[in-house]
Amino acid sequence: MKPTIFIIAILLSSLQGYSQESPDIIPTPVKMEVNEGTFLIDARTTIQYDKKKKELGEVAEFLTRYIRDISGIELSHNAKDNKKIIFRESNDDTLLDEGYHLQVTPQSIIIEAANRKGIFYGIQSILQTLPAIRTNASLEIPAMEITDYPRFQWRGMMLDVSRHFYSPEAVKQYIDLLATYKFNTFHWHLVDDPGWRIEIKKYPKLTEVGAWRVDHLDKVWSERPPAQEGEEATYGGYYTQEQIKEIVAYAQKRNITIVPEIELPAHSVAALAAYPEYSCTEEPQLVNTGGIYPKGIQSAYCPGKDKTFDFLEDIFLEVLELFPSEYIHIGGDELDKSQWEKCDACQSRIKKENLENEDGLQSYMVKRIEKFLNAHGRKLIGWDEILEGGLAPGATVMSWRGEAGGIKAAQMGHDVVMTPGSPCYFDHYQAGPEGEPAAIGGMNTLKDVYEYEPIPKELNTEEAQYVLGAQANVWTEYIATLSHLEYMVLPRMLALSEVVWSPSKHRDWEDFNKRLRGWHFRAFDQKGYHYNKGNSKVVITPQSVDGKLLVELESEIVGAEIVYTLDGSRPQRDSQKYSKPVEIRESSTIKASTLLNGEVLGMVPASQSFEIHKAVGQNVDYKNPVSRYYMADGPNSLTDGVRGTFTVGKYWHGFHATDMIATIDLGTITDINRLSVGILQKRKDWIFPASSVTFEISTDGKTFSRMETVDLPIKRDNKENKILNYTTDKNTSKGRFIRVTAENFGVCPAGHPGEGKPTWLFVDEIVVE
């Protein structure tokens, strides 16, 4: 072979093996093929579209401004240059309302969609291949072909501006983030107990009074005292109707529908501070920090008075003028119905309308508001408490207390938006909590969000169709600044975007991490966003298996190793490396850290102490099922050597309105000298101690003898947060089977917000010695 021919052959071979790396698009498209070459945006590039289509012109202007900002290049519209970006409307049924087809070649970019929505989303995919800020780098877009459309029609993010106020500019930035990641719904929590944030011209005191509060900035939210008479209300703010119109228009251009929330019947302290005549007592009161009220404060509207409905309907009429959204959110959560029980007008309404009780009165109020909204062409959506007393005919349920409310509503044929606290509350910690900014509690990591499936397995195919999608909520008790808000939503927002947009079969944690840590983290850095770079805290999960206690260690940092110790010392890079579950044979403390590129990550290692006793590693059977939301690390968590803490949910088995009856098989007959069980009291969270605990022993698992019944070790009206140990060392004997019966407290006592409602029983380690 001649040398020239040989060189040409090598070049051809290398071209045939060419593989363009896929761009880091989030959410990942339904179908994407990357080809050879790039399209270069320069001064000769033009955008072409049908000028008769005003909406396409708006999208073209959006792209033009973006390119101008990152490069200084001014794209012409409908010029005859040969480098074209083309927008086309398509009749392709597979693209549906928000889908798009994108084709990039070195000569052109073509985006086809049913309407401007799909065109806009195609643009967002393109922008994720370009610089996020002006760097003077060339604007090269890889040649590729994408067919893409969303999995769910409701792809939402909520922001609470009542507890902390965010400027119109900050709200627009939040909307920009939503648009970048193809969310289409912004749930704006505008009113609540700590502040009323929307101007209502007919009722000016809603903002003159209700938008301002006394705020003790020197204390964390949960420790701020109620406002006192004479204190100056200096913290707050509100949006004028002109500002709201501007924000709504801004969102519409980015395919974002704003769903406003006007809370009722509860969470109405700010409104009733301005207009107390719509409460049950009509007594003057102050705006207060949420959830912390002086005795006797009225937090709910009075549905016994017709003038209350006149007031609310007047408010909604102005809200409807401002927000063109199909849905109007009315809240409906966390109602203290004791106010209504003592109100003559409410009791009269119950009798007049033949309602069963206060639950029925709540349902009456929601149904009446729904009828009003329907008459004005809108739909009602509310938190899952609107199920209580009977659901309004056309209401949509937003399920936040786990998925139970959403499951029930879908089975009844009602539309549902899934937004369970785990993992969709972005006010919870995402890492640490050591080294993290203060959060309200809980732990929803990036991986937790990414692995969420909005359609519960309890729903059949037909019922699953009522799940409109999912949403993350950002409550702002502990989030007072824009930088903190950015940190709490980034990057978890990106994980949720892929959950609600991309096909579930495309979910790939490692690939998502690669894309996230490529273009997106770089863009966050360039734009100066505050964000969490990953949860380096090792997750320690004990498992009781065949009489052995095994401990699994897991890190969310892709490509990292884990180092650990068993003597309580801090892990170093040369400590034992984790390769398989570690067996714990004696009482000890395991500490573990993530190791990446030879560096131990995190300021504080994960740590867990284990106390070995005779039941550790053994199986546990339950007569009454454990709540699916509070099952700790699995059915054998009561025998994993780990004692519970005040962190609700992490270590505890929860039983709602029922006793715990647990039987442990020790595997062989042995001496039993002492038995104990840990039980949590946290009344604020409706968690009450056991009225009594009965310990029983058996040699055959059939006939049990009672060792002792231990009564409640504190006074029944004790309200302190406590971990109680119910213990017996009487009547020691031999046995193989142990049965522990913890009797549920019953119902919440008088004066508790849940008065008369069933309590939770939280149980932890059963210790056998």
Would you list the domain boundaries of the chain? Answer: 22-148, 154-208+235-526, 539-610, 620-768
AA identity, residue 109? I
Rounded-to-integer distance, Cα 664 and Cα 634, Å: 15
pLDDT of residue 32: 97
Architecture of the 620-768 domain: Sandwich (2.60)
Strands (E), 516-565: 539-545, 548-554, 561-565
Cβ within 8 Å of residue 317, ≥6 positions away: 376
Three-state DSSP class for 2?
coil
Give me the catalytic one of 58, 61, 334, 769.
334
Cα 468 to Cα 398, 399, 414, 665: the distances in Å are: 10, 12, 10, 45
Three-state DSSP class for 78?
coil
Question: What angle (nearest 5°) sits at the alpha carbon of residue 108, between those of residues 107 and 110?
Answer: 160
pLDDT > 70? residue 2: no
DSSP string, 601-635: -SSS-EEEEE---TTTT--EEESSPPPTT-BTTST
How sure is the predictor about 580, in pLDDT bands with cuts at 50, 70 and 90? very high
CATH of domain 154-208+235-526: 3.20.20.80
Cα 341 to Cα 356, 366, 755: the distances in Å are: 12, 18, 11
pLDDT per position as a tens digit, 446-483: 999 999 999 999 999 999 999 999 999 999 999 999 99
Cα 666 to Cα 283, 631, 678, 736, 766: the distances in Å are: 62, 21, 19, 5, 12
Q: Is 334 known to be catalytic?
A: yes
Burial class of residue 22, CB neighbours in 10 A (0-12, 13-18, 19+): middle
Element (H, E) at 346: helix 344-352
Q: Quick check: 261 and 196 in contact, CB under 8 A?
A: no
DSSP string, 266-293: SS-HHHHHH-GGGSSS-------STT--
Average pLDDT, rounded, for the chain = 92
How sure is the predictor about 292, in pLDDT bands with cuts at 50, 70 and 90? low
pLDDT per position as a tens digit, 110-129: 999 999 999 999 999 999 99
Q: Quick check: 498 and 454 in contact, CB under 8 A?
A: no
How sure is the predictor about 81, in pLDDT bands with cuts at 50, 70 and 90? confident
pLDDT of residue 290: 58
pLDDT of residue 9: 39
pLDDT per position as a tens digit, 627-641: 877 888 778 889 999
CATH of domain 539-610: 2.60.40
Paired tokens of 210: 């209700």
How sure is the predictor about 7, in pLDDT bands with cuts at 50, 70 and 90? very low
Q: Quick check: 726 and 620 in contact, CB under 8 A?
A: no
pLDDT of residue 739: 97
CATH of domain 22-148: 3.30.379.10
Mean pLDDT of 623-630: 86
AA identity, residue 632? A
With CA atoms as reference, report the closest residue to 285 among 301, 303, 269, 300. 269
- If one counts every other C-beta atom within 10 angstroms of the C-beta of residue 665, the result is 16
Three-state DSSP class for 40?
strand
pLDDT of residue 293: 64
Q: Quick check: 334 and 266 in contact, CB under 8 A?
A: yes
Phi-psi region of 597 (alpha: psi -120 to 50; beta: other; left: phi over 0): left
AA identity, residue 95? L
Three-state DSSP class for 88?
strand
Mean pLDDT of 334-350: 94
21 or 251: which carries more pLDDT confidence?
251
Q: Quick check: 159 and 166 in contact, CB under 8 A?
A: yes
pLDDT > 50? residue 683: yes
740 or 751: which carries more pLDDT confidence?
740
Three-state DSSP class for 708?
strand
pLDDT of residue 15: 36
Rounded-to-integer distance, Cα 672 and Cα 731, Å: 9
Cβ within 8 Å of residue 668, ≥6 positions away: 736
How sure is the predictor about 183, in pLDDT bands with cuts at 50, 70 and 90? very high
pLDDT of residue 291: 53
pLDDT > 80? residue 72: yes
pTM of the model as a whole: 0.88
* Fold equal for 22-148 and 620-768: no
Rounded-to-integer distance, Cα 765 and Cα 5, Å: 77
With CA atoms as reference, report the closest residue to 499 among 731, 281, 182. 182
DSSP string, 473-528: B---TT--SHHHHHHHHTTHHHHHHHHHHS-GGG--HHHHHHHIIIIIHHHHHHHT
pLDDT of residue 10: 35
pLDDT > 50? residue 305: yes
